[in-house]
A and B are shown apart, each in its own frame.
Chain A
Amino acid sequence: MKSGFRGILIVVLVVIVLAVFVFSNYNGLVASEEAVNSAWSQVENQLQRRMDLIPNLVSTVKGYAAHEEEIFTEVARAREKLFGAGSLSEMADADRELSGALSRLIAIAENYPQLKADANFRQLSDELAGTENRIATSRMDYNNAVQSYNTKIRRFPTVIIAGIFGFEKKDYFNAAEGAGQVPSVDF
């Protein structure tokens, strides 16, 4: 009789411990996944911010250097590519291309002293440089969040909970090297 009671007590205790274990791990995973999502929304915000800057920038440069058509097409093409990107790695590649195209667009100011001196252009290129820097920052934050999340779902014992509730590995937002370069003109 006594030993039966003790048996039940042990079972109850084990169940409680297990439940606490599952809950805390599950909640930790949810928090970690949310951190990844929120970091991603920052990346998207900053990418959008750059998209919004492009028309102004292009039209300002066109005002002084209308015949540099090659670079304008290049920017437009990279912009379209980013819009149409499906996967994260496609997006990262398109992002790098657009960064490169925009930095070349800014750099042609070296050949047009009037453009370089234009207050509007300077302001826009500061906005662009700032936005590129924000993109780099938010990308780094996102990748750090993904790293901590991915580590968590592979680590014991959370790996069990992740398996049961279907938490999946997330992709990094990585382009090839040189992606984070800030386009800059030394004024």
Chain B
Amino acid sequence: MIGMGKIIRKHVKTGLLIAAVLFVLLANTGIACAEPVPARPFENIYVFDYAGLIDDADEQQMRKIAELLEEKSKAQLIVVTINDLAQMEIEDYALELFRNWGIGDKEKNNGLLILVNKESLLENRRGRIRIEVGYGLEGAINDGKAGAILDTYALPAFELGEYSRGIRDTFMVAAAEVAKEYGLDLEDENFAHLKDYPVEDEEVSLLALLPIIIVVVIFLITIRKTGGPRGYHRGPFTGTFFGSGHSRGGGFGGGSTGGGGASR
């Protein structure tokens, strides 16, 4: 009888252990299933051409500029091409990817994502491309400018089927705007060719945009004060899991976005 009791107790222990392990595993898979966007890469190589749309030469060129920009300003410009949106809207997909990867510096939130979706691109319909702008770069590239960049540089090239050029040009203009924002000298030989990408002047007068600017400023002040969305809203992956916030060379910074940018 005593032996029986022991055995049962032993089994209860093992059972509990198995249950605990199962629980942990299930909890993890639960999170994994909820993320249709690509997992956060361990190394940040700036251009992630999952859909194979970009030529090698363009890829190298973008990578070089992105590296320089990060080095000088901590801003992270990332290009991602994907085969399809996994039934999501391009806005939602971009937001999820941006936050899961943590693009941009954690404090400055100065990330920018250019997301290209091959499926819509080939079918020539909405959802082809999105520029998603982190909080910290909304001053450099507001929604109107993001839209204008796409209209001027991405769409005309896409119409001709020159996807790689469209993506490269879009990236270069965005890079030029970011460089300007941080006062990086375009005369510098490293950035010199960014000057070939002028952005059309704003057609809307500054006065008309004043209310928006004020709201953005208030918004930025509130998030700075409360530490609100930065610390709070990021998914379980950034921060805790990957220990972002510690500066690790070649990784992502843990930046966030509020959904700014434009899509076509």
Contact = CB atoms under 8 A, between A and B. Distances in A.
A45 B219 contact: yes
A145 interface: yes
B215 A38 contact: no
Given A45-B215, A53-B212, A134 B229 contact: no
B10 interface: no
Interface in A9-61: 34-35, 37-39, 41-42, 45-46, 48-49, 52-53, 56
A147 interface: no
A52 B207 CA distance: 12
B245 interface: no
Contact of A35 (B155, B222, B228): B228
Q: Is the interface of B mostly helix, strand, loop or mixed?
A: helix
Contacts of B233: 39, 141, 144-145
Contacts of B91: 133, 136, 182
A126 B144 contact: yes
Nearest to A186: B126
Contacts of B208: 56
Contact of B212 (A39, A49, A120, A187): A49
A107 interface: no
Given A38-B222, A39-B228, A126-B146, A137 B215 contact: no
B187 interface: no
A73 interface: no
A127 B208 CA distance: 12
B232 A119 contact: no
A88 B128 CA distance: 35
Interface in A146-187: 182, 184, 186-187
Contacts of A89: none
A33 to B, nearest CB: 12
A34 to B, nearest CB: 7
A130 interface: yes
A42 B215 CA distance: 10
Interface residues of B, number: 40
A46 B228 CA distance: 15
A138 B222 CA distance: 14
Nearest to A185: B126
B255 to A, nearest CB: 15
Given A49-B215, A123-B148, A42 B229 contact: yes
A184 B126 contact: yes
Contacts of B211: 49, 52-53
B159 to A, nearest CB: 12
Interface of A: 34-35, 37-39, 41-42, 45-46, 48-49, 52-53, 56, 119-120, 122-127, 129-131, 133-134, 136-138, 141, 144-145, 182, 184, 186-187
Given A52-B212, A123-B147, A126-B147, 6 more contacts: A49-B212, A52-B211, A122-B144, A122-B147, A129-B263, A137-B95
